[in-house]
Chains A and B, each alone.
Chain A
Amino acid sequence: MTTVIDVQGVSKQFKIHHERHQSLKERLLHPRSGSTEVFNALSSINLTVGQGETVGIVGQNGSGKSTLLKCICGVLKPTTGEIRLRGSLAALLELGAGFQTELSGRDNVYLYGAMLGFSKKMVDGIFDEVVAFSEIEQFIDTQVKFYSSGMYVRLAFAVAVNVNPDILVVDEVLAVGDERFQAKCVDRIQRFKDEGRTILLVTHNADQVRALCDRAVVLQSGDMIADGPTHESLRIFREHLLEDAVVHDSARLSESIKIDAVSSPTGSFGVRSGSALHLDVSVHSTSAYSGNFVMELFTRGGLLISRNDAQGSPINLVPGHNVVGIDLAQLPLLDGLYDLNVGIVDHRGHTVIAWSEQAATIQVTYDGREAGIVELGATIRQQ
């Protein structure tokens, strides 16, 4: 596999001005004042991405994921280290940032194409595709300033994905347009993937990473703390989120609740489709706590099968050892492995108190005739 993105020891420091002196008078009057603090946004990141990989970059706000992406795109220059890239790259850092609102949609398509580094001839070749994808045929010669915000981002997205770059870099922009257009975007990215192109995706949405990426990288305060298969990395990400929550919200989380283990009374996580499954979750708490219990079930491919709403089910923990039972009366799942995540949130469902990613893997065996994920058990008869 050819390496298309090679990030070698990249660090990025920002100077933060506490008092900005940008006028000449202020600079002359206060030549040395206005303290400047150096902020390490990235510290020695090493990352190689091969051709055809789809890599998700996850991290909390301020973890440096956008900075890394901007360095890769060349919008920012790394303070030290270098990034080697092969092939053309199109970045969706902010949709429509390159648009000139006074110009028509048509002119902007060409200008934006040129900004992404594609020639007029190439844009000529894909122009119709871009217009069709963005669904604004009748307004393409209207000045962009009269566009609705949805039309604006749709056009920008259409340009970036249709210039067919070798590398596509996407920063939290998949939430554009209505649900149908979002599906179209995800679909387009999927096709990109199938064409063997390389995609870097930054998002807060773990489900999107699960659905699109084979590999995920987790950043925390400028350090790369995980790089591996998506579910592994996401597990580490969740764990760190919780650690952080404990640190930042120590007053509320001083109880220190931990999910120790998930066990099955039968000792096995194997179950036949359609039969019942009982799981015991042992939770250790140092004090009494009333919260809610939540669970998620995923396929191995990362597809969410079920998650209860944020409220979950109320539980009252007592100091010491607690056992929470999960009863699945009739598991309607088909053959396969399913990952279970369990967690405890506060009673309003806003703060995660404890979380265990991939707490158990359930193996379902099925010998019926249906294929897919869920057994519908449809009866079909002619009337």
Chain B
Amino acid sequence: MSDAPSADPQRRSLEDTPVRVVSARATLSARLKNLWSRRELLLGLIASDIRIKYKNSSLGLFWSMISPAFTLGVYFLVFSVFLKNGIPNFVIYLFSGLVVWNMFQSSINTATGVIVDRAALVKKVSFPREILALSNVGASVVYFVVQLFVLAIFVGAVGHAPAWKFIVILPISFLSLYFFTSALAMVMSAVNVYLRDMKHLMEVLLQLWFWLTPVVYSYENSIAPHLAHRGLSFLYFLNPVTLIVVTFQRVFYVNTIVHSTVAPHPIIDVLPTWSFDKFLYLNGVLLAIAILSFFVAEAIFGRLEGNFESEL
């Protein structure tokens, strides 16, 4: 070629550009670094997920509020009106738990099948595959924020003051929720490639999981006395979603002990009567565990990912 290299602005020497390595096993730190470098793709996928979901609906993002509102209404009717659980302001209690649960459930339900559903993409374009699962979690986070916003407005509208002091714990609790959900979503999306039943199994498990989480009932009021009696209270808190739900309820519902609105028991223990410090400590521990589980999930995903092409 006749023209000098400098004459062409497009031409540049690659002498100094860093070397990327493709090999069978990437270290965990390399994987995480690569994942972080593709965060723009993650945001793009989240945006497209949301856009596609509500593309041809006239109410759009409103649906992310309407359907939880219906669920909320049904549970309220069943537990407060028909079964008369006697918990005052039960809607706020329900709402603060459901916000957390919805985020968890919708993430896992959508992410479990995502690698299989997008096999064409996985087999043809190079990018960290776990981003697909993380984008589903990300979309759920957006709906979560919308619902949380509605919850805050609702709480303000009915003149119910949240526990201001405890609000600082919410971000910690939310991060635990995010990392734990992401970890489970990544692992399930990879396992589902090998065992296609996982998607259906997860749907069933999540229903059971829902009832093991104190969203529509009060743990303190129902199960706690039986477990505490045998010194097994910790069993219930092995479910990481429980602590997050309880923290959200503590912030928005506030009251730990209430006067029943119906006859038999005049006093109801709704929430654990832990101090602020204990809430902070437990949430801190949970966050550490959640972040650790995220790393473990990333490593597991890296292992399982190697054989995707022969299974998809």
A→B interface (CB under 8 Å): 2, 4, 14-17, 22-25, 27, 51, 71-87, 91, 93-94, 97-98, 100, 102-103, 107, 110-111, 114-117, 119-120, 143, 164, 166, 194-197
Contact = CB atoms under 8 A, between A and B. Distances in A.
9 contacts: A24-B197, A77-B305, A77-B306, A82-B22, A84-B20, A84-B21, A86-B17, A94-B124, A97-B120
Contacts of A102: 51-52, 55
A103 B48 contact: yes
A111 B45 contact: yes
B127 to A, nearest CB: 6
B8 interface: yes
A111 B125 contact: no
Contacts of A94: 120, 124
B209 interface: no
A84 B19 CA distance: 6
Given A110-B44, A111-B44, 12 more contacts: A2-B15, A23-B197, A27-B195, A83-B21, A83-B23, A94-B120, A97-B121, A98-B124, A98-B125, A102-B51, A115-B127, A196-B10
Interface in B106-128: 120-121, 123-127
A29 B194 CA distance: 16
Contacts of A195: 8, 10-11
A2 B11 CA distance: 13
B105 to A, nearest CB: 21
A22 B38 CA distance: 31
B19 A85 contact: yes
Contacts of A84: 19-22
Contacts, number: 129
Contacts of A27: 195
B306 A107 contact: no
A196 B125 contact: no
Contact of A14 (B1, B123, B195, B310): B310
Contacts of A73: 126
Contact of A114 (B5, B41, B307): B41
Contacts of A197: 10
B40 A74 contact: no
Closest 8 CB pairs of A and B: A82-B23, A97-B124, A74-B126, A24-B197, A114-B41, A83-B22, A114-B44, A102-B52
Contacts of B20: 84-86
Contact of B309 (A25, A76, A85, A166): A76
Interface size range of chain B in the complex: 35 or more
A142 to B, nearest CB: 13
Contact of B123 (A75, A79, A91): A75
A127 B196 CA distance: 40
B190 to A, nearest CB: 14
A81 B22 CA distance: 9
B207 interface: no
Contacts of B307: 15
Given A14-B310, A25-B197, A74 B22 contact: yes
A295 to B, nearest CB: 34
Nearest to A25: B197
A103 B14 contact: no
A77 B125 contact: no
A16 B310 contact: yes
B140 to A, nearest CB: 18
B18 interface: yes
A243 to B, nearest CB: 30
Contacts of A107: 48, 51
A24 B195 contact: yes
Nearest to B19: A84
B11 A196 contact: yes
Contact of A4 (B11, B14, B41): B14
A4 B51 CA distance: 38
B24 interface: yes
A81 B23 contact: yes
B277 interface: no
Contacts of A74: 22, 126
B22 A85 contact: yes
B13 interface: yes
Contacts of B311: 22
A271 to B, nearest CB: 32
Given A14-B310, A78-B24, A195-B8, A91 B125 contact: yes
B13 A115 contact: no
Contacts of A100: 48, 52
B263 interface: no
A166 B18 CA distance: 13
A103 B50 CA distance: 11
A2 B13 contact: yes
Contact of B14 (A16, A72, A114, A166): A166
A14 B5 contact: no
